[in-house]
A = this chain, B = another copy of it.
């Protein structure tokens, strides 16, 4: 069984690390000469719209999946003529566009911040009048890690903001006074079976995920599963999907979905019976799903810009290093550490130890 992956970054790399023991081979289509997944499979170096190379990929593999959601719709449509593609085109179409995404949440009765579609500065001005300030303006597509968005606090922030984000279609979201950000990683099999990992509490810095802590029990687990289940079934989704929420007044408001394995699920490699990477692969190839149960108290810390010296990371108790083999560069995710401890109190100490290392870099 050979799996084609669109994108050859760290998510592709970790998919291959999970899939190789299942007997799978991998081919990654990625234009970057230094795509870090290439160490673990074939690297088809081509643009995502290059039909000759997409055809080559389709001919070589049994199915295709993705490591990022902003794959062009034409790419998905083209590949789908020749080979199964999971998750399906509709899931990607919705997830790559914040307007479609939020509209789906609303349609499914999932609470989400107030939002409006923007195609001009006039739309923005009208939306601000209706929704109020502060608010967050985001490009409908291609935003990630805090890119493609702007917080609007004052009328001065609003003036010219549409041009500032590139004059592209955007949405305005009402500001939500959230007490925390959580994500639910879910996996749905071809036959519709669905499993959920424990809710994860996430902390961001400048829009980039810094710390994810898996909960053991969480009062909102059942509610989150209900919401995410609605989306999975609506999309007839196959594979891992990550759903980010704001915690508001003891409830949840939907932020966004990612139709793929997700940074806030990296802790599952060591911290769950079966990782998000293995479960994604099991789902897309039609194998039975693995257990999403946690093994202890786990957390994940991102290494952004650079990985602290290996000998210092691996010397820490309960700590597992994941070095992506990428060149170090400010603001770039180049690795992470998973902590798996016996209990929450120990985990807290371990997190502090990794944070101290990161602060020294």
Name A residues whose Cβ lies closer than 8 Å to a Cβ of B: 13, 17, 20-23, 25, 39-41, 273, 282, 286-288, 290-291, 295, 307, 310-311, 314-315, 317-318, 320-325, 335
Q: With A and B bound together, what is the CA distance between A287 and B291 in angstroms?
A: 33
A323 touches which of B17, B22, B39, B321 (Cβ 8 Å):
B22
Q: Is the CB of A23 within 8 A of B287?
A: no
- Residues in B with CB closer than 8 Å to A22 are 310, 314, 321, 323
Q: Is the CB of A20 within 8 A of B17?
A: yes
Q: Is the CB of A23 within 8 A of B314?
A: no
The verdict on A315 contacting B288 (CB below 8 Å), with A22-B321, A307-B23 known, is yes
Closest 8 CB pairs of A and B: A23-B323, A288-B315, A21-B322, A287-B311, A287-B314, A23-B325, A40-B40, A22-B321
- Residues in B with CB closer than 8 Å to A320 are 21
- Nearest Cβ on chain B to A139's Cβ, whole angstroms: 33
Q: Is the CB of A288 within 8 A of B307?
A: no
Smallest CB gap from A340: residue in B: B273
Q: Is the CB of A20 within 8 A of B325?
A: yes
A290 touches which of B282, B307, B314, B323 (Cβ 8 Å):
B314
- Residues in B with CB closer than 8 Å to A318 are 273
